[in-house]
Structure 1
Amino acid sequence: MRFTRVDIRNFKCFEDADLRLDSGVTVIHGLNGSGKSSLLEACFFALYGATALDRTLEDVVTIGAEEAEIDLWFSHAGGDYHVHRRVRNTGDRPTTADCTLETPTGTIDGVNDVEAHVVELLRMDAEAFVNCAYVRQGEVNKLINASPSTRQDMLDDLLQLGKLEDYRQRAGEARLGVEDVKGSIEGRLDQLEDQIEAKEAEDPHETLAALESQLNGVADDIENYEDQRENAKETLDAAEDVLERHEEKREELESVTETIADVREAIAEAESQRETLAERASERRERAGELGERAAELLAETELEAADADAVDQDAVDAKRDELADEREDVTERVSDVAPEVSRLSTEAENAADRAEELEARADALREEADELEGTANDAESEREEAVERIEELDAAIEDAKATFEDAPVAFGNAEGHVEALEDDLEDARERKSEVRADLQSATDRVEEAEELLDAGKCPECGQPVDGSPHVDGVEEYRERVADLEDDLEDAEENVEELAERVEEAEELEDAEREVADLERKRELAAERRDDREQAAADAREDADEKREDADELEDDAEDAREDADEKREDADEKREELGELNARQGDLKERIDRLADLADVLDERDEEDSEAERLTEKRADLADRNDERRERLTDLRERKQGLESEFDEDRVEQARDEKERAEDYLEQVEPALEELREERDDLQSRIGAAENTIEALEELREDRDAVAAKLEDLEAVHEEVTDLESMYGDLRAELRQQNVAKLERLLNETFDLVYQNDSYARIELSGEYELTVYQKDGEALEPDQLSGGERALFNLSLRCAIYRLLAEGIEGDAPMPPLILDEPTVFLDSGHVSQLVELVDSMRRMGVEQIVVVSHDEELVDAADELVRVEKDATSNRSRVVQDAAEVLAD
């Protein structure tokens, strides 16, 4: 690939310039700051845009101009191409108004499409092309003066390996990011585990069972108090009835005392009352009979030993109730003990089952990892076999190369000295040839001069007339001398040709030695690869075996966990069955207690009904007696009064007053007690709700823990992948660097040998970290900074040319060879080394570089140019111009 023409308008310091570039060496000459480098930047900008210049579009357009235009013509692979770019600087910021590429097959429009096609065409992006083609001003000594680490980074960037380090760093940053998230998730998992452990330590299931038991007790107390309150109300009603009847009799007595006249009416009223009392007594006896039947039914449902309800002792009923209540309390306590055991055993069974599943999952994961490692080992063994085959191929190639020396005049390993000896002989033969040619020319000139003198009638030696000259016969001797020298010249030319052929044959042997050295280095790399892959396969299989052993152990642990879970479930079922029996027993006791309570209530009510019926009967009899007395003797009212007074039971009345007072006091006190019990019941219900919420929260925490654990497992897989990616980029960079080092060392030695063919330096060694060592022919090692200033400059130019060749050849095959551009290469050279620079340029031409452009202000390089271009700057306008016309250049 080569540039053929660049035409620019309003580009940087050029208002208008048109430069034609041919094959060979073109020297762009001019004073420092005249704009020579800007011509090359225009070429780069045309191909790749502003990214190739490390600048922006603002830096491209000439100050004061509204737009810039760049046209570049170049040839590549036998085809001609033309790139046109136009940059407009009229808005807020410059923009590319036009960008086209004319190819042999059509036209491409648009910045992105043009640059993409250029990258595909030249197989280099902007950075690779500029680093390959352009040796910038001031960079010549930069590599040698840099520290080893800086030189390593610079060469990696030139060889396009810096991007792999960027990718590795990005992968490392991603790995650190995953580690941060992973640490956060692990912290969250630990936090959840702590929360679960704290809530499990509270034992909410046992707490719930205890609270429910307490709630049952409080409910029973409330029910008991409410029953007692009803009894107190009934007692109060009875007492008030007694007091009310006492008041009635008193009023009756007063009525009898006060109104004797109304005796007859009283007798009639008494008879009416007697009938009413008879009905009421009958109703009471009927109600007492019904209650007796109900008591008999309830008695049959109890364990009391009595023939009938009339024989039942109230104290026996109360004693039996107390006995059953104590038994129920014992059952309730046992329920409180068994319920937490059921919850605990169920939880332990679930935990053991979860543990078994987790262990099985881990065992499966380990087996999958073992299978992957087995695949890795198989891959490594395949790669080892490939390396073994490569070694065999290289051994065969080495034998073939060494076979070249079977009929050679020197043994293998001595080709370099043989070449040097033949080159010395060739140089001597060429000097002999030059000396003979000079002598022949001198002798020929002498014969011609003598013949001219003879033709003029003069002596060829002394110039006197022939007749008087004693040396006329000497002309024949000159002719014989010319003939002898012509024979010697022919012999010398044949000797030079023969030696040149022998040098070429010796150089082929030397090339064979270099090839063997290159092949042996490759064989060493292949052997290292073989050993590395063999070790990798062994390590992978060993790791796979360890993971399978760990998986077997985990499966054993999982089986133990499952057995433990089964045992816990069986124990829980037994406890649950016991709890069911206790609950049934508790319910049965409550029913029996309730039946006894009902029996006691029915017996009390029956007795009250019998008493009331008896009282009503007595009252009716009293009324009859009074009426008889009224009929018999109205005058005996005082006696009747006394009789009525005798009927009053003051003890009963006083007892009724006491019962009323006690009932009122009890009713007054029972309500606060009931309120406290209800508050306690509400508090227990609230605490039960809190315990149930705690159990629900515990389950939610377990679900969250499982979800976080799954997420952590996914993150660990991502972390492993990112870590492998980071290592892959590092390994790839190291591998590519090793390949580059071997090839770059060979190219550098070839280039350096061309510059120092007859000097005292033998070879250059390049380590894997790009450390450079120069070896003298006596074997002494020198650091590059121990060379003289001019030698260091040539050393670095040789290194840059070797890098150019490496980038042009590519790692996987030849890439297009762009122009080689040297910007001010003589800055650090003294006059004695400029000729070696010219030799370096010529050597690059012989290696196939079609176009070399040298930018320099040094006059010594002008003679080495196939074409000379001068760049001048007008101090007034600060604009540069290109002078390419031969006559004008020579005139300048």
Structure 2
Amino acid sequence: MLRGIELRNFKAHEELSAQLVEGINFVYGPNGAGKTSLLEAIAVALYGSKWLQRTKAKWGDLLRRGAREGEIRLSLVGVDGAEYTIVRRFTASSSVPSATYALADGKPVARGDQDVTAVAARAVGLSIDEFANLAYIRQGELRRLLAEADYLDRLFRLDEFDDLDEVVREAVAEAGKKRANAEGRRDALERSLAELRARIAKLEAERAEAERKAEELRPRAEEYKKVEEEYQRLRARSAALEQETAALRRESESLEEELVSLDIEREKKGEELAELARLEAELASLPSPDPALEQQYHEAQRVLQALTSMDPAVRSFRPEELEALKAEREELIARRAELNNKLAMAREVARIASRAREGRCPVCGSPLSPETAQRHAEEAKRLEEELRRAEARLMQLEVELRRLEKLREEYLRYKEYLPLDVDSIKRRVEELRRAYEAQREAERRRAEIEARLKRRRALEEELKALDSRRAEAEARLGEAKRRLAEAEQELAQLRPKLAELEGLYAELRAAYEEWLKASARAEELAKQLAAAKAEAEKAEAELGRARAEAEAHAKAEERGKALRAALRDIKPLARKMFIDAVNAELNSAFLRLRHKEELRSASLAQEEGRYYVVVSRADGQRFLHTSLSLGEQNLVALALRVALAKALLGRPPFLILDEPTEHLDEVHRRRIVELVRDLARDVRTVIVTSHLGEFEEVADNRIDL
């Protein structure tokens, strides 16, 4: 029994709490008030995402606009008597697993969408198909019952007979294929086994022949092994002697080459000693060096460099000319001082004369004519001109004195070289250079000869060592030639024996190889024979299994065909049983809903794959439900829906009817109210919605929206 439901942010409902009681629960409200949303919330609470998949909806379709999450809380008493609370919280994208759970008598029993759905379905005793098709009669679905050809077959679960028949058909076809495969494998194995037996007989004959031939060749094979051992020993000794003689020849040639090389080297050493004796005589003839020559050469170079780098004016420098210019400069300096004093006095007199009044001096009062004043002014100009010439001459003297002072410095530096002639000095430098270079060359040659003479003792020791090495090489050469002669003699004795044994070895080797082939052939045939016998045993066992498998699949095929025949017979009987059970409830409900007394009965019938409700009148006439008015068709569909629920579920735990009086007149609505009242006697909880108030008088609980 459903106890109550609470909604938060579900479609149009921000907050809603509704209590449900045993009996009739009437949900009343105008169109658009959310009556259908309340019923849909019960379906979502029970079956979660499975209900959304069935109705092709999304969680976001259920969430109130602007809300982040919604919640449904449904309370009910299960068929096992326990009190359940189903809570589902969701967002626009999915269910919230941590806030989706089920309680049984206050204890958690499930968490998460799928587990909660399983608990809820067990609690109400209805699968999602039974709930959707029988317990929940949604608005606008009443006429769907007869409009869809296979709808009732799915409710009766008769389609499962077709599914089972398809499964059996596929199983029969698979059994037929397996039987044919097994029979084909059986026939192939029988042919293969016959071939294997013939092959075994052939292999046994071939093996006996190979063993006989190998036994005949065995003595020759044993003789071959002895001859081979001796032959290989002689070959190895011959090869060793060949290698030894070749090595001794190479050693002799190498020693002879070494002796030639030593003789050449001794000759070179002798020539080098003779050269050293000649160099010693040359060393005695070299002149003794002059220690002062190098100093004289460098001194002459220094003098020549000084004369060539000296200013040519230095040669014409006269010290008395410098002294005369210095004296002239001193005189000009004194004269400049005298002129400055006279000029200052003349300027002062001219200044005073310019202030004279009435021909008298303003200082002393003596007579002062204009001519006198003019004369003093001209004197001042003359003095200024003379002073300017003196200053100009002083500047010239300073420049000339600086030049002469510089020449004097060079003159003093090169004074001792001035009497010398540059060309004579150049000739002297060249003579000294040639003498100096000749002396240096002689010293270089002296050092070179002395260095080479130092090797005389080492050269003599090397010559002794060469004599010793030559004696040793001659001794080794004699030993190598002796050993070579012995090896060649032994090799000459060995070759005839080896040639004789080689012919016998080749003859016996051919027999030995035939024995090996015969023995290997016998072993290979023995292996093939064992493998063929094992394969024959395996084929016999597999043949037995193939025969048993073919027989088993043949029996399974026959049983499948018999089962399909039985299913074809049972399906009509099952359909008749379901129709009879539904008709018992349908006629009862129809008689309560009819408003014309002439309509005596209504029954469900099936013809050519479609279902019809056949209505009978008092005059015995029968006609299909499609001949009724729209309102009467709705009444028939409602009666059929109630009959299906009672016939297929027995006593349903609850029934939900959404707007069952849609498109009906007042008389028909009255009949439906009476039918709902009667249903409450068999169904513990009935929930019915309407935007009219016709159910109020029979309702045990009213929920206003």
> TM-score, length-normalised on structure 1?
0.40
Larger Rg: 2
